């Protein structure tokens, strides 16, 4: 991974063989990035994507292999229990330009991946919501705004 910081943004290049979630987690740890937005494009040949079943509250994942373009990678960086927490979604397309998408579990880069990270100066955590079955944003209670 190679990257360069410009004020509150990071421009990142992943190399062939690098895995997106691991690489991004390392970058966040190294640079103490607690909150931000991630966008990216590139190429992968091995991706695992999931879909959350709202009834069973479980993720069902699928592995895809072969040459694929990452037509979109987007998500956010937060933290949970002081650890980096990434929530990313991905859309890839195959040689027939057919697109597949879902929650990103892992993606191995086959050529390159170009990511831009916008850092937000702040902190948003996560809390497990029993009813929904997911780790939702947890805001600092004294600064929360809400609309019903």
33 φ, ψ to 5°?
-85, 120
Number of residues that bind Fe ion (CB under 5 A): 1
Residue 5 CB, nearest approach to Fe ion (Å): 27
Cα–Cα distance measured from residue 24 to residue 115, given in angstroms and rounded to the nearest whole number: 10
Binding mask 91-110 for Fe ion (x = CB under 5 A): ------------x-------
Residue 103 CB, nearest approach to Fe ion (Å): 4
Is the CB of residue 35 less than 8 Å from the CB of residue 54? no
Is the CB of residue 77 less than 8 Å from the CB of residue 117? yes
Question: Which residues ranging from 38 to 57 are in contact with Fe ion (CB under 5 A)?
Answer: none
Residue 136 CB, nearest approach to Fe ion (Å): 11
Cα–Cα distance measured from residue 134 to residue 59, given in angstroms and rounded to the nearest whole number: 10
Residue 126 found at the interface with Fe ion (CB under 5 A) = no
User: Which residues in this chain contact Fe ion in the complex, by CB under 5 A?
Assistant: 103
């Amino acid at each position: 991974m190679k990257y360069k910081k410009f004020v509150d943004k990071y421009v990142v290049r992943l190399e062939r063989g690098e895995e997106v979630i691991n690489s991004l987690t390392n970058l966040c740890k190294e640079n103490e990035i607690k909150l931000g937005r991630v966008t990216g494009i590139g190429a992968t040949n091995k991706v695992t994507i999931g879909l959350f079943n709202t009834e069973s509250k479980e993720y069902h994942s699928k592995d895809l292999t072969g040459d694929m373009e990452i037509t979109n990678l987007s998500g956010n960086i937060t933290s949970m229990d002081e650890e980096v927490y990434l929530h990313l979604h991905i859309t890839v397309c195959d040689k027939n330009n057919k697109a597949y998408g879902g929650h990103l579990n892992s993606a191995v880069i086959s050529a390159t991946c170009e990511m831009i990270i916008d850092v937000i100066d702040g902190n948003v955590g996560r809390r497990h919501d029993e009813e929904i079955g997911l780790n939702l944003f947890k805001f600092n209670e004294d600064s929360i705004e809400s609309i019903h």
